[in-house]
Amino acid sequence: MVDWGDDVALSVMLSNVTEETRTALKPTGLDRIRSSVAALHDLHLGKGISLDTLRNSGVHPSTLASNGIRLAPLLKQHGFDALIDYGFSWQDMRDMGLTARQACSMNASQLRNLGVNACMLAELRPTISYIASMRMSPVELHQFGFTSDLLVAMGLHADNMAQFGYSIPDWKRTIGIKNWQALGFVDYSECERMGWSRVDLHRHGVLNDVTPVPVAQRVTPVQSASRRRGQCLEF
């Protein structure tokens, strides 16, 4: 309350004027709508707007998504931490065009804050290189939900596993790789060419269950096709 002096009548009158002024200055529903529309218009024009301005304009993440605002410019300006603090959900980001590369640039903490697991991330079809770029430890990767079956389905192979920086025991004990032959671990020479240590492979028994095909019995794709052309179809 402002002190207008000893004149009671003047004090009451001016206090009422002050209260009316405050009421008039409060944003109305129409003002808020106009502010929201202006903010969305500026975003569509590619203008940078602070998150505080968006918040004061009554613009929610779902509003941005439903109005066709793309995530990339906001992400470039503010980063994932600020957007998550603002209230963006995983679905909001997906609706705004989140890509696999962008999703895999998040760290484990940010993904947990969004409630994202490996299966949800896999829906964006990230490459194995993108998954490896997240730099999760073997334990984190396993806890996140990346099972050996899921990784294989996403394209895990002997020649791209090294991108993770895991050891053979990590893959075998933590991730749970069992069928090494299906991943391309067929013979020592080929594995060494892909960067794997012959000593490690032997020590951990990776090739123990692999039965090499004799060179004389190996069939090339061309030979296989030729044989099929010479065969009669049976019904």
- What's the 3-state SS for 57-120? CCCCHHHHHHCCCCHHHHHHHHHHHHHHHHCCCHHHHHHCCCCHHHHCCCCHHHHHHCCCCHHH
* pLDDT, greater one: 23 or 111: 111
pLDDT in tens, 169-205: 999 999 999 999 999 999 999 999 999 999 999 999 9
pLDDT at 53: 80
Tell me the pLDDT band of 220, cut-offs 50, 70 and 90: very low
Range of 12-21, 48-57, 110-119, 207-216 with top mean pLDDT: 110-119
**Residue indicated by tokens 């394209």:** 155
Tell me the pLDDT band of 17, cut-offs 50, 70 and 90: very low
Q: Average model confidence (pLDDT) for the chain?
A: 79
Mean pLDDT of 205-232: 52
pLDDT above 90 for 88: yes
pLDDT in tens, 21-50: 455 445 555 555 555 555 565 565 566 777
Range of 47-56, 58-67, 187-196, 217-226 with top mean pLDDT: 187-196
